[in-house]
Amino acid sequence: MAVIHRTTLKPTKLELLTSWLPSRPWYRGGASAPRLAKAGGFRLDDPRGEVGIEFLVVTDTAGPRPTSYLAPLTYRGAPLDGAEHALVGTMEHGVLGPRWAYDGCHDPVFLAQLPALTEGRVRAQDQNVSDVPDDEVTAVRTGDRPLPTGFTATDEADGTRLTSPDGPVLRLHRVLEPAPDGAPAPGEGVTGHVTGAWTLPDGTRVRGLLAVLHE
C-alpha cells in the first residue's frame, strides 16, 4: 500500500495545477488565473511501490460558476523518459525529495491501474490515510473480456479519450458534473463506468461519473 507522508510540498499541487489547467483543451475558465481549492479525490497503488497515483479533484471559483476538474496525477522520483509533454511540474517533497508530477493519462503505470480499477481488480484508496480503501469510489462493468493496458491518451474539448489497438475506449471526464444515479446515459457499446464523490464549495457532497468504458 502507498504510504501517505505528512510533510510539505514546494510548490504545492494546487500551485502546479493553477499553471497547468489553462493549457488543457477541456479547461472551461477564462483569461484570469484559476482559483483552485481541493474538492476530493483518491489514490491507486502501484504494485511495485515506485510511482504515486492520485486522482485529484479541484474546484475553480474564478469564473461565473464553480467548475470541478478531475486531474489524475502520477508522482515519480525521476523524469519519465519520453513524457516531457505530460509533465505538470516538479516539486520538492519534504521526505522523498524531488518529485516529477505527470498527467497520469500519459504514464504507463497509471494506464495499467485505471483498467484494473474499472474491472474491479483493484480498489481505490483513501486520499489522505494509508492502507484505507475509499468506499465512495465504485466501478461497474458488464463485459468480461480483459482490458488491455496499452491505452493512448488524446485530450479533447470534453475530456480525455483513452484508446487501445484492441478496440476498448475509456473516456475520462475532466469537467465533473453531479449525477445522483451514478450511471452514464444509455449508449451503444457502454460496458462500464467509474464513479466517485467530491465536495462543492458550499459543502455539499456529490457523486458523479469519472470514467466511462466503451467496447
Integer Cα distance of 95 and 116 in angstroms: 29
pLDDT on residue 31: 79
End-to-end alpha carbon distance in the chain: 31
| 90-139 pLDDT, tens digit each | 998 766 678 999 999 999 999 999 999 999 999 999 998 888 999 999 99
At 149, which helix (H) or strand (E)? Answer: none
Is residue 146 over pLDDT 70?
Answer: yes
Residue with cell 495499467: 112
Joined grid coordinates for residue 121: 481488480
Pairing state between β 52-60 and 9-10: unpaired
pLDDT on residue 185: 67
Joined grid coordinates for residue 156: 479533447
| 6-18 pLDDT, tens digit each | 556 679 999 999 9
pLDDT on residue 148: 84
Q: Residues 6 or more apart from 194 whose CB is under 8 A from it?
A: 117, 118, 137, 138, 139, 209, 210, 211
Mean pLDDT (whole number) for 19-23: 95
- 5 confidence band (pLDDT: 50, 70, 90): low
Is residue 39 over pLDDT 90?
Answer: yes
| 48-80 pLDDT, tens digit each | 989 999 999 999 999 889 999 999 999 999 999
pLDDT on residue 44: 96
| 149-201 pLDDT, tens digit each | 789 999 999 899 999 987 899 999 999 999 877 677 666 688 999 999 999 99
pLDDT on residue 167: 83
Q: Percentages helix, strand, coil for the chain, rounded to the nearest 5?
A: 15, 40, 45
Is residue 145 over pLDDT 70?
Answer: yes
Looking at this protein, which amino acid is placed at residue 5? H
Pairs from 202-206 (Cβ < 8 Å, separation ≥ 24): 206/178
Integer Cα distance of 48 and 167 in angstroms: 28
Which residues are bridge partners to 176 per DSSP? 68
Angle at 169 between CA 167 and CA 175, to 5 degrees: 170
Looking at this protein, which amino acid is placed at residue 198? W
At 58, which helix (H) or strand (E)? Answer: strand 52-60
Integer Cα distance of 45 and 108 in angstroms: 13
pLDDT on residue 165: 84
CA torsion 22-61-127-104 (nearest 10°) is: -10
